[in-house]
Amino acid sequence: MKNPFDEFYHVPNSQELLDIAFKRSMKSSAQVSKNAPILIKAKKKESKRIKVAIEEIINRILKIIKTVPILDELPEFYRELADILVDVDELKLTLGKLNGILPVLHKIEREHLSKLNRIEAPKEGDQIRRSAFGRVSSVIYKQNRNLEYLNKIRGSLREIPSIDYTMPCIVVAGYPNVGKSSIVKNISTNKKLEIKEYPFTTKKLNMGHLEIEKRFHKIKIQCLDTPGILDRPMTKRNSIELQAILALRLISDLILFVFDPTPASGYRVESQIELYNEIRHNFSKERQIEIIIIFNKMDLAKDSEINFLKENLDINDSQFYLTNALTGENLDKLIIDLKERYRGNE
């Protein structure tokens, strides 16, 4: 499913909104016969300007409200992710406030059009239009914080990856700085992933794809890079970690758990093991989702460090991949394994 926030377009601030509306309004021309009296011409011209400006603003506000999906109707993954990324109550309140000014704008329009009807000199028409624009501006300026808030959260909601529920999804998880993004970059089509020597480089979910050739057709597998997770209680986890937890909980078909056996990541191996056990118990066992274990940074890892992990996880050499995500060493074996799993019995 395409990211439901994909069509949440740029939200203009108050000034932009007013500029657009007033510009359109002043360009508008009323249909009035050349020979009509000047007073009639003035009335028609100004009433058209008022109508165009207010209509433009109302339409734009309605469009903003409509492009934000109704959160309660979204699939669980998107709904919960939106909940992590933004304050959903504040979002609803903001949309409500914007909706609330629509009747006010209609009222300003009605009042000024009726005043225009009663003018006795053409120059009064200009004054009434100015007064209408003044009232509209003051209503819209008061919405500036709401408009800017919407535009701000739009940034993070639009970055949510599109998930195809009909395709398998491998979720790559582990402690920060262990090489998750380096692995996804190496094995998938997503070559844009940011890789840095410090933890929490990845702050959001990023999708990549792997293509698998079946006998008669190709299938695509999704491969999701996630932010690092620390071994700590769920209530202490921040919104960056929670995105990874959510992906594990709701969209993983297979988990690649990445360990850094060396001190390079800056985190203790014992803590990584604790996290692995939590994920195994909470997100894999019940749903019978398999975990593939990766010991990354093999170029740095000492035998003693690898053995320590093996012993503590109680696994043998055939139960993990020893990889170097920078050179790709042994990742080819991992890809073959993944392809075997998804190729199934052709």
Ligand X SMILES: Nc1nc2c(ncn2[C@@H]2O[C@H](COP(=O)(O)OP(=O)(O)OP(=O)(O)O)[C@@H](O)[C@H]2O)c(=O)[nH]1
Binds ligand X (CB under 6 A): choice among 115, 200, 273, 308:
200
Say which residues have a Cβ less than 8 Å from residue 37's Cβ, sequence separation at least 6. none
Binds ligand X (CB under 6 A): choice among 18, 105, 157, 178:
178
Stretch of 120-128, 196-204, 249-257, 287-295 contacting ligand X, by CB under 6 A: 196-204
- Asked if 338 and 221 count as a contact pair (C-beta separation under 8 A), the reply is yes
Binds ligand X (CB under 6 A): choice among 11, 325, 334, 338:
325
Count of residues in contact with ligand X, rule CB under 6 A? 23
CA 325 to chain CA centroid, Å, is 27
Q: Does 239 bind ligand X (CB under 6 A)?
A: no
**Binding to Mg ion in span 151-170, by CB under 5 A:** none
At closest approach, how far in Å is the CB of 65 from ligand X? 35
Q: For residue 268, give the nearest of 228, 322, 231 by alpha carbon.
A: 231
Say which residues have a Cβ less than 8 Å from residue 136's Cβ, sequence separation at least 6. 18, 21, 53, 54, 57, 105, 108
Of 215 and 236, which has the nearer Cβ to ligand X?
236
Of 18 and 255, which has the nearer Cβ to ligand X?
255
At closest approach, how far in Å is the CB of 81 from ligand X? 18
At closest approach, how far in Å is the CB of 89 from ligand X? 30
Stretch of 112-120, 179-187, 230-238, 332-340 contacting ligand X, by CB under 6 A: 179-187
Q: What is the DSSP string of 208-246?
A: EEEEEE-SSSEEEEEEEE-----SS-GGG--HHHHHHHH
What letter represents residue 91's amino acid?
L
Looking only at the bridges linking them, the beta strands covering 218-225 and 254-259 are unpaired
Binds ligand X (CB under 6 A): choice among 4, 12, 227, 261:
227
Q: Does 129 bind ligand X (CB under 6 A)?
A: no
Token output for 210: 């792997």
- Asked if 47 and 113 count as a contact pair (C-beta separation under 8 A), the reply is yes
Stretch of 61-69, 79-87, 197-205, 313-321 contacting Mg ion, by CB under 5 A: 197-205
Q: Does 69 bind ligand X (CB under 6 A)?
A: no
Stretch of 17-25, 191-199, 281-289, 337-345 contacting ligand X, by CB under 6 A: 191-199
Helix (H, G, I), strand (E, B) or coil at 283: helix
Binds ligand X (CB under 6 A): choice among 36, 93, 326, 336:
326
- Asked if 243 and 276 count as a contact pair (C-beta separation under 8 A), the reply is no
Contacts with Mg ion by CB under 5 A lie at 180-181, 201-202
